[in-house]
Amino acid sequence: MSDALIDSLTAAVQARPDDLPLRLHLAEMLVAAGRGAEAIAHAAQVLAREPGNTTAQQLMARALGPAEPPAEQPAEPPATGAGVDWAALEQQFGDVVPPRFARADGEPDPVHGHADRAFDVERSTVTLADVGGMADVKKRLEVSFLGPLRNPKLRSLFGKSLRGGLLLYGPPGCGKTFLARAVAGEMGAAFISLSITDVLNMWIGSSERNLHDLFESARGHAPCVLFLDEIDALGHKRSQLQSSMRTVVNQLLTELDGVDGGNDGVFVLAATNAPWDVDAALRRPGRLDRTVLVLPPDAPARAAILEYHLRDRPVAGIDLAQVAAATEHYSGADLAHLCETAAEYAMRDSIATGEVRMINQSDMLAAAREVRPSTDAWFGTARNVAMFANESGEYDDLAAYLKKRKVR
């Protein structure tokens, strides 16, 4: 292996440190040259950004193993395509390679073996400091989840268990998924997100197997935050489901209990817009027994969200505090749509006049009058639940919020 070529690739990687394919190519050449220690450093940098990169994992294993002998030059040039006896090869391997399709003359159907599914495992760089506002939600997370985790001695002294999970509920578009990623980043844990499409399968038993594989993947990457999005779809009330979906809910209960494998180091977070549709068994102690209401962003959070969505747009003279005051009850998604609408106003005028006009305060306020909060419908349903279906007191925090703020 030419040292000059390796030196050139090293210089190129230093100039483009974010080019992961180039870094992997350099690591492969270093392994082939017997310079395993240098290859390990490059493979480790790739794995730090992409933990599931199979090429980097293979290079790491090769670099950590015994040194590879130098490749020998062939004594004779390889045979060209014209010299290959394809007929002989077909006779030799014809019985080994299975047919691509099953025929109707009695041949067996292809067998689909059960291989471990690969789930996307992320390393979240977002922390609670990146979440604007929401002081009450952060305090609840700190008391019920993060505080005991950071203080194992105090947790042991007071007999505090981290078994069970946390259910985030509230109107759509208010940052429940972002909060889950922030919790994972705060803990320095792996993050796996699951939706119903990752689980459901038309074949009997496959949905339950997919769910088990997911929890096994989370256990294998502990410490890990396992995020179950739209838990009301996956864990709907069994009394309202067909028998095929009831078995999926039963499997979810089994996995949360850790019957088939310990859940030590697996922290389950779930999110829903309709907690009243979640099966009651999922919310018993030891499962999703802690609940946090995630409301529309408060004024400081709205200002931070607006600033984020305007950061790459031409703006001038925008009073974020005034716009935030005019957008009470707006979700984060509503605020993003508001910024998009204001940009359309300025772009329309720029096209008409032929001169670029900045997005100004008038555009933002006009957009606020056009874009209405999408949370009103959710609060209408939630109000009925808090008033007429809160005998157990599980929605007291929601009822208190509705008393303080008038719902439109």
Whole-angstrom Cα distance, residue 228 to residue 183? 14
State whether the Cα torsion 388-196-180-257 is positive or negative.
positive
Q: What is the pLDDT at residue 316?
A: 92
Q: What is the pLDDT at residue 113?
A: 37
Helices 396-404, 376-388: crossing angle, 10 deg rounding = 120
Domain count, the chain: 3
Six token digits for residue 89: 């090869």
Which is nearest to 223 in space by CA: 251, 192, 246? 192
Whether residue 227 contacts residue 266, with contact meaning beta carbons closer than 8 Å, is answered with no
State whether the Cα torsion 154-157-158-164 is positive or negative.
positive
Q: What is the pLDDT at residue 296?
A: 92
Answer whether residue 79 is part of any domain. no
Q: What is the pLDDT at residue 12?
A: 83
Per-residue burial over 248-262, b = 16 or more CB atoms within 10 Å of its CB, e = otherwise: bbebbbebbeeeeee
Residues 283, 308, single domain; the answer is no
Quote the DSSP letter at residue 68.
Answer: P
List the CATH number of the domain containing 163.
Answer: 3.40.50.300
Stretches where the chain sits below pLDDT 70 are 1-2, 64-119, 161-164, 241-244, 259-261, 406-408
Whole-angstrom Cα distance, residue 338 to residue 348? 15
pLDDT in tens, 21-42: 888 888 888 888 888 778 877 8
Non-local (6+) Cβ contacts of 281 within 8 A are 238, 249, 253, 287
pTM across the whole model: 0.65
Answer whether residue 160 is part of any domain. yes
Whole-angstrom Cα distance, residue 271 to residue 285? 17
Q: What is the pLDDT at residue 112?
A: 42
Answer whether residue 98 is part of any domain. no
Residues 22, 41, single domain; the answer is yes
Residues 139, 265, single domain; the answer is yes
Whether residue 363 contacts residue 342, with contact meaning beta carbons closer than 8 Å, is answered with yes
Whole-angstrom Cα distance, residue 117 to residue 218? 12
Q: What is the pLDDT at residue 275?
A: 92
Answer whether residue 198 is part of any domain. yes
Residues 136, 207, single domain; the answer is yes
Answer whether residue 350 is part of any domain. yes
Residues 289, 339, single domain; the answer is no
Residues 130, 188, single domain; the answer is yes
Residues 265, 147, single domain; the answer is yes
Residues 263, 211, single domain; the answer is yes
List the CATH number of the domain containing 318.
Answer: 1.10.8.60
Q: What is the pLDDT at residue 244?
A: 67
Residues 201, 222, single domain; the answer is yes
Domain that holds residue 332: 299-370
Quote the DSSP letter at residue 192.
Answer: E
Cα 189–Cα 208–Cα 214 angle in degrees, nearest 5: 15
